[in-house]
Structure 1
Amino acid sequence: MNSSTDKVIWLDFNDAPEQGESTKPKHDARELKQRLIDSLDAVLTYLFPAGKYRGKQFIVGDLEGNPGKSLVVELAGSRAGMWMDFATGEGGDIFDAWARVNGFDTASQFPELVDSVAQWLGVSVDQSRPLSATYEKANKPAMPARQQPTDDLGPATGKWDYRDSQGQLIACVYRYDNESGKEFRPWDVRSRSMKAPDPRPLYNQPQILSANQVVLVEGEKAADALIRLGLVATTAMNGANAPIAKTDWSPLKDKHVLVWPDNDDAGAEYARKASEAIACGGAASVAVLHIPGDKSVKWDAYDAVDEGMDVWAFVQSAPRTIVK
């Protein structure tokens, strides 16, 4: 690298459908849905025997019940019973899950779906009194002993989607905060497993595709901070710990790339290795920002935005090392 503190590169960052009388369900669907939510542990254990508990969520591989962590069901609060399959983007409530697992079409077979739920709950047709006045514990299915969470991470405190240039989901990264600090875990959509894809993708590829200048930072949180200001930003998966050789840098080919490292030794090393890989990959230009001397250790792009810094002016005029 050739260090340049006086040369400045100016970047121009410039509910079910209505049924007819003949097909009207014999039961109150809203009451049955509430009963399912009130018996959620038993319901999920019945629908997904391979599922496991993790904090306030129930996790399983998919709607077919395969082991895994892609499909997440909320267990508490106003979203109890709501589920999302992060591998497919599908989601719904506990009625939808019951329908999918048991092969019911919610549009054309809603009465049969409702009857199926009622039969499993042991609710007879004449039990049509208001739920709040008649719900007896004896009518609830036996609750299995609550399983212990599969890990000690608890619920995710952050999630970032990695998509290709056409918007197709490649991977997700989940953040967990616990007594030991923060921890990140990737989900590979193609293999449907909790691991990083090979090669590892860059973040925010749909925006990178049409951009001329791109800022590379450490971590999705920092990238999002810049994106909210209108800058096109990205990060390698795992930030400063990203394996350079296993990262696909090709989306940065022909781009003018500015690397904004965290203010620590790990950040400097990441910037050096990443900038060299990006330059070798065919970027139009590559430079590494110099962090101001008065900034604290680990200061990064997120901190700059949080402090109210004029980030646009900083990326345009701050001293930098020219790599290419």
Structure 2
Amino acid sequence: MGTAPKRRAVVPAPAAPPGPPTKHPTLGEPSARWTYLTAKGELAGFVCRFDRKGGKQFRPLVFFEEDDGARAWRWEAWSAPRPLYGLERLAQRPSAPVLLCEGEKAADAAGKLLPGHVCITSPNGAKSAAKADWGSLARRDVMIWPDADEAGAAYARDVTKLALAAGAKALALLSPPDDVDEGWDAADALAEGWTSEKTLALVDAAKAVGGATQAKQASEGKAPRRRPQRDALMALTQFCAFWHGADYEAFATVPVNGHNENWPVRSQAFKR
């Protein structure tokens, strides 16, 4: 009896035909499709969402090659270690703080609320974090925004260990507000009309949970330093215009959800 040929994911996927299918054989057309790219911006595959009567379902779509040379797109996940969603953004902005969400939709929403951060996620759900490649978080400042449920808390615990093992410089955990619905995440915050200013306040209250910086402070007997408002604001500087009025009251003009808002800046140095 013959043995079925082994297959392996091809990353980057070839640009030449055949292109990826537009429909799943049983689930039909996806309601959303997220493109995974390599750090160089090459195609690594997709994750598709299907909204069904029984609830939402997700399927990865990856290009594979068999040992016998056959090549095709398949509705299967990458072999471990799997790529992160947002690798190209991590590579393009090596000094930007990183925000890790649970799911591609949440990561995209967080990117709109916090344009000064690189917002990423791992593929295949909260229970598959250990199968992802976290090496790109080495020497990065990382914050985790978990979903407001038990699965989100478990995901946060898992990725905390994985990011620290990968060499994250600093790690912090954002706590969802107490009055939100079960499963609330960045996508819900965006849908509810949260502004960047409100989201930054949530970020500013995040709790440091580890990393090389905190380990050094602990060895020196120092308490972790709370992130000042200026640091959170400076993460947005490439998107902002700073100015002051005739009375030297300081403001920053910040793009928020397609329009500009003027925020007061509590900075004596800027007033001078």
Alignment correspondent of 1:273: 158
Is contact 1:214-1:257 (8 Å) kept? yes
Q: Which residue of 2 aligns with 1:170?
A: 44
Q: Find the counterpart in structure 2 of residue 238 from structure 1.
A: 124
Contact 2:98 2:141 in 1 (8 A): yes
Take 1:254 and 1:175, find their aligned partners in 2: how far apart are those partners?
32
Match of 2:107 in 1: 223
Alignment match, 1:205: 87
How many angstroms apart in 1 are the aligned matches of 2:88 and 2:30? 25
RMSD over aligned CA atoms reads: 2.3
Code of the aligned partner of 1:287 = A
Partner of 1:77: none
| Paired residues of 2:174 and 2:203 also in contact (CA < 8 A) | no
Deviations 1:246-273 (A, max 9, x none): 2100111111000000000000000001
1:150 positional shift: 7.4
Q: TM-score under structure 1 normalisation?
A: 0.52
1:255 equivalent in structure 2: 140
Deviations 1:151-175 (A, max 9, x none): 4312111111111110111121111
Shift of 1:315: 4.7
Describe the shift of the 1:228–1:189 C-alpha distance in structure 2 as closer, same or farther (beyond 3 A). Answer: farther
- Counterpart of 2:171 in 1: which secondary structure? strand
1:320 equivalent among 186, 198, 207: 207
Q: How does 1:285-324 map to 2 (within 5 A)?
A: 285-311=170-196, 312-324=199-211
State how far apart, in whole Å, the 1-side matches of 2:187 and 2:107 are: 8
Q: For this pair of structures, how many residues does the alignment match?
A: 182
Structure 1: runs of 5+ lacking an equivalent: 1-86, 93-148
Whether the aligned pair in 2 keeps the contact of 1:202 and 1:234 (CA below 8 Å) is yes
Aligned partner of 1:196 in structure 2 is 77
Structure 2 unaligned residues grouped into runs of 5+: 1-12, 66-72, 212-272
Larger Rg: 1
Secondary structure of the 2:74 match is coil
**CA 1:197 to 1:310, structure 2 compared with 1: closer, same or farther past 3 Å?**
same
Could you say which residue in structure 2 is the equivalent of 1:185?
Answer: 59
Letter of the structure 1 residue corresponding to residue 62 of structure 2: D
**TM-score when normalising by structure 2:** 0.61
Identical-pair percentage: 37
Change (3 A) 1:271 1:258: same
Q: Check conservation: 1:287, 1:320, Cα contact below 8 A.
A: yes
Moved over 6 A (4+): none
Helix, strand or coil at the partner of 2:160: helix
SS at match of 1:195: coil
Higher helix share: 1
| Letter paired with 2:209 | I
AA matched with 1:239:
G
